[in-house]
Structure 1
Amino acid sequence: MVERVNQRWVRFGRELKRLRTKAGLSQHQLGKEIAVSHAMISAIERGARGARREHVEQFDQVLSTGGALLRSWERLSENNGLPSWFRGVASLEQQATEIKSFQPLLVHGLLQTEDYARTILRDGRPMDSDSAIDELVYGRMARQAAFTDGNMPLLLGVLDETVIRRPVGGPTVMKPQLERLLQASESSRVTLQVVPQATENNPGLSGAFTLLTVGGAEILYMETPLSGAPVESLEDVAQYVRLLGDIRGVALPPRESRKLIEAVRGEFL
């Protein structure tokens, strides 16, 4: 299996390796100093995974670089591989205390696996180069990496059953994606509900939307394949708060939703 790398990660990894070698430390020794595995250090240096800010700060401290690695990391992470129109929303996600969404077609970006994200981005943007797709995948994974157990907001995801049954990328992509949803649902901060396909009166057929609670206020976010923008109109927000309540009213409870996801996962052999 060919290992995928991101060019931003590769550049940072090369600099980390150079400074680690200069300091006379092995990957094992550096990993031990900051309490991570040497395998993680190796993956970062190869560009196979990104580094979190807290790890970069620890690298600087251990390697006595005077903050050089953090400055490099910040330059390379400036755009985070996100479309310009989405960067403000990504910032709102990190400020939010609660994120609630309804998704009738696809898994929410914060819960996608890398292969699932790559598949839908590749299929939806056939004219983009592989490097451009890599940048978008990187941005999506970076959004997820920004959330740790300590700062993760409450997340409510309501999905149409179509989302979990559509064989995006085939079983090799879809089964791990469903396992990702099941894993996420084990967290006390994540609630998942599924609207059954058999629902005769489904109020969610008008499309996907997300509600973010930031500073005690609700912000509505909606997008098209080409753009998106937050909506702060109290009237519009109130309409979608009611709509989400209506959709949840026809969705399965969390426990039954989990059972359905488990059952569908078993169908992807």
Structure 2
Amino acid sequence: MANGSRQAAWEFFGAELKRRRENAALTQAELGARVFVSGGYIGQFEQAIRKPQLDVAQRIDEILQTDGFFDRLWKKLIKEQPYAAYFAHVVELERLATEIYEYAPTVIPGLLQTPEYARAVFLAGNPFATDEYIEDLVNVRMDRTRLLKDATRPKYWAVLHETALRIPVGGPAVMAHQLEYIASLMRERKVAMQVLPFAAGAHPRMGKMMKLMNFEDAPPTIYTEGVASGSLLDDPTLVRRTWASYDHIRAAALSPEASLALIESAAEDYRRCVSTS
């Protein structure tokens, strides 16, 4: 399903939600209270600005007595979208976020990847896949990276562990281009970056990626990822704890200026490997 037709399908979801809510003589606030979200969220669902999570769609079915209609439609739309089910909602939230903060312990974050780097990552995880399948994955990831090139892009701040700079994903040429691309984004002030150097030693959440997102009209959300799984968290206590961990990591990291110098130095090291091979 193409992006345009997928958006049209979510707009149908929203229109049906509005029609059936009004038929039940419920306001957005009343329905929201019964399914444990705000009335503003219901309005955003109806306008296809925000997509509900599955449990919310299921509760809507219960309250509106729609015999599983929204549950089935949600599952069909998620099945036909290009992202894994556990990650699809994260992509939607990235588009709505006003600020995105990431910590990447071993791999360059997807929003910053070049096509060549992304291809190497996908090949490593899918060694028997066809070229066509890999290219589809790369194209989907590159669609995500456009977020940081839009005029309305969110504020983006990432901390990379030095490990992510030193693992030669795809080989020296791919890594040189990848790091030069990140450096160009930093110089153009499209992103803010820091590097957590090896010398920093142990730190909170060592080895665990995290993405923190702030929104104009919704509580902050934390995303963490495991093997073929991910968790979206908005519990205030967990959010505060994760923000504290992120602040500790930023405090231990190099300054943006020193980080840029290290990234450019690593890129040059890879370039020398290419020229001498």
TM-score between the two structures when normalised by the length of structure 1:
0.67
Residue deviations 1:109-144 (CA, integer Å, cap 9, x gap): 000001101101110222433332222211110111
Partner of 1:65: none
Partner of 2:39: none
1:220 corresponds in structure 2 to: 222
Corresponding residue for residue 10 of structure 2: none
The residue that corresponds to 2:202 in the other structure is 201
Deviation at 1:222, TM superposition (A): 1.0
Change (3 A) 1:199 1:148: closer
Q: CA RMSD in A?
A: 2.0
Q: Does structure 1 retain, via aligned residues, the 8 Å contact 2:148–2:190? A: no
Partner SS, residue 217 of structure 1:
coil
Distance 1:254 1:79 in 2: 40
In 2, Cα distance between the equivalents of 1:232 and 1:143? 23
Q: Distance in 2 between matches of 1:134 and 1:84?
A: 20
Distance 1:175 1:149 in 2: 25
Query: CA separation in 2, counterparts of 1:221 and 1:137?
Result: 22
Residue of structure 1 in register with 2:235 after alignment = 233
| Change beyond 3 A, Cα 1:80–1:135 | farther
Aligned residue identity for 1:238? R
Q: Determine the structure 1 residue equivalent to 2:254.
A: 252
Mapped partners of 1:177, 1:89: distance in 2: 24
Mapped partners of 1:155, 1:222: distance in 2: 17
Q: Would you say 1:120 and 2:121 are equivalent positions? A: yes
Q: What is the number of residues matched between the two proteins? A: 194
* Cα displacement string for residues 74-107 of structure 1 (whole angstroms, at most 9, x for unaligned residues): xxxx956322332211010000000001001000
CA distance in 1, matches of 2:130, 2:224: 26
Structure 1 position 235, deviation (Å): 1.2
Alignment of 1:17-96 (within 5 A): 81-96=82-97
C-alpha distance in 1, partners of 2:167/2:185? 19
Per the alignment, do residues 121 and 181 of structure 1 end up closer, same or farther by CA in structure 2, a change over 3 Å counting? Answer: same
**Alpha-carbon distance in structure 2 between the residues aligned to 1:124 and 1:139:** 16
Q: Work out whether residues 81 and 138 of structure 1, in 8 Å CA contact, stay in contact via their aligned partners in 2.
A: no
Alignment of 1:123-202 (within 5 A): 123-202=124-203
Tell me by how many angstroms 1:152 deviates: 0.7
Structure having the larger proportion of residues in helix: 2
Task: Give me the identity figure in percent.
Answer: 33
Contact residue 191 and residue 254 of structure 1 kept, 8 A: yes
For the residue of structure 1 that corresponds to 2:175, the secondary structure is helix
Stretches (4+) displaced over 4 A? none
| Structure 1 position 105 matched with structure 2 position 88 | no
AA partner of residue 184 (structure 2): Q
2:159/2:194 contact within 8 Å kept: yes
Is the contact between residue 96 and residue 153 of structure 1 (CA under 8 Å) also seen in structure 2?
A: yes
Q: What TM-score does the superposition give when structure 2 sets the normalisation length?
A: 0.66
